[in-house]
């Protein structure tokens, strides 16, 4: 690991392997939010690819004289910026050493970025921008087949979406899986991509607006029903009198970190961000519902 000389070595964070940057200086707001790429910046690279492809699609439509809603473009750009914020700054390094910073990164990737990206309607943009011939036509037909497939129907069903999303909360943090994934740089990247993917799968069908979308009342009910499960996760961590994760038990002694206080802060972050994201989604649904006399939600075609 880069920049680990002079630090104690034991289990947990000190047993991580692979090319990764972990800070030596004690945390401060400037250091946590300051720019700092990991040696293998996989997630931020994928975010930039997504941004370039999206803006290219908007440019293609503009070249045809088709106006793409600026709100959707703004939502997508904000989503990518939020993703880059938590993967190209000190949040990445300090998030492997402090539970609170890690939880902030997790919540942004799983609950903030997915909502913003879904509001950008990327699949709808791709279907409109891609040509109907050549390689682009093949990709377009592939997207249409995938959207109408049995696999998509199962993946977007309530039981599967809820199971995958809640597994990223309870299944990872309350089992040995967290330590197994965080042990290597690739496991860490898999975890980040899992947070992002399950968040998109969970929130995408809630904010989209298509002919096949669930009725608005059902989407509101589903969003409301998820609230206590998100809150319970944060409260369990916040109120626990013992360490939930052994991974963060052995912080750098020079930092004078109170692990239980940091864990309580992590729980507070999880509770606050999850509740805020849930309220945001419910607001989007209600506003869209009220703006259409027949009760069909306006929003994004995801």
In sequence order, what are the residues at sequence separation of 6 or more whose Cβ sits closer than 8 angstroms to the Cβ of residue 250? 8, 10, 11, 12, 13, 14
Contacts 24+ apart (CB under 8 A), 291-299: 295/216, 296/209, 296/216, 297/209, 297/213, 297/216, 297/219, 298/209, 299/119, 299/207, 299/208, 299/209
Whether 110 contacts 168, CB under 8 Å:
yes
Using CA atoms in the order 268, 80, 91, 263, what is the torsion angle rounded to 10 degrees? Answer: 20
Evaluate if pTM is beyond 0.85: yes
Q: How far apart are CA 88 and CA 91, in angstroms?
A: 8
Q: How far apart are CA 58 and CA 68, in angstroms?
A: 6
Domain ranges of the chain: 28-291
Q: What is the DSSP letter of 110?
A: I
Whether 286 contacts 193, CB under 8 Å:
no
> What pLDDT sits at residue 165?
86
Task: Read off the tokens for 29.
Answer: 């707001």
Q: What burial letters (b/e) apply to 146-165, b meaning 16+ CB within 10 Å?
A: eeeeeeeeeebeeeebbebb
pLDDT in tens, 18-42: 788 889 899 999 999 999 999 999 9
**Cross-strand pairs, 21:** 2
The burial class, CB within 10 Å (0-12 / 13-18 / 19+), for 227 is middle
> What pLDDT sits at residue 301?
39
pLDDT in tens, 72-88: 999 999 999 999 999 99
Q: What is the DSSP letter of 35?
A: B
> What pLDDT sits at residue 169?
85
Q: How far apart are CA 176 and CA 197, in angstroms?
A: 21
pLDDT per residue as tens, the chain (302 positions): 444 433 444 446 666 777 888 898 999 999 999 999 999 999 999 999 999 999 999 999 999 999 999 999 999 999 999 999 999 999 999 999 999 999 999 999 999 999 999 999 999 999 999 887 777 778 888 888 888 888 888 888 888 888 888 888 888 998 888 988 888 889 999 999 999 999 999 988 888 754 445 667 778 788 878 878 888 888 999 988 888 888 888 888 889 889 999 999 999 999 999 888 888 888 888 877 776 655 444 444 33
> What pLDDT sits at residue 279?
85
């Amino acid at each position: 690991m880069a920049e680990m000389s002079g630090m104690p070595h034991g289990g947990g964070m000190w047993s991580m392997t692979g090319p990764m940057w972990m800070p030596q200086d004690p945390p401060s707001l400037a250091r946590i939010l300051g720019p700092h790429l990991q040696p293998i910046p996989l997630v931020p690279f994928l975010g930039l690819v997504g941004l370039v492809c999206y803006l290219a699609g908007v440019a293609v439509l503009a070249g045809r004289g088709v106006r793409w809603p600026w709100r959707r473009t703004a939502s997508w750009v904000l989503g990518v910026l939020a993703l880059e914020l938590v993967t190209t700054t000190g949040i990445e390094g300090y998030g492997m050493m402090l539970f609170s910073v890690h939880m902030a990164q997790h919540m942004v990737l799983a609950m903030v970025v997915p909502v913003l990206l879904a509001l950008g309607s990327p699949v709808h943009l791709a279907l409109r921008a891609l040509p109907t011939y050549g390689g682009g036509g093949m990709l377009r037909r592939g997207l249409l087949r995938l959207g109408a497939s049995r696999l998509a129907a199962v993946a977007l069903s309530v039981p599967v979406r809820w199971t995958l999303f809640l597994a990223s909360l309870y299944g990872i943090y309350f089992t040995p899986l967290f330590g197994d994934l965080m042990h290597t740089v690739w496991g860490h990247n898999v975890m980040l991509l899992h947070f992002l993917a399950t968040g998109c799968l969970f929130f995408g069908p809630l904010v989209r607006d298509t002919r096949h979308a669930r009725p608005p009342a059902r989407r509101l009910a589903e969003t409301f029903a998820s609230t206590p499960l998100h809150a319970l996760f944060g409260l369990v961590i916040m109120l626990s009198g013992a360490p939930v994760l052994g991974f963060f038990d052995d912080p750098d002694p020079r930092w004078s970190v109170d692990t239980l206080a940091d864990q309580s802060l992590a729980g507070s972050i999880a509770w606050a961000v999850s509740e805020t994201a849930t309220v945001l989604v419910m607001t989007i649904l209600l506003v869209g519902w009220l703006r259409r006399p027949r009760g069909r939600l306006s929003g994004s075609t995801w």
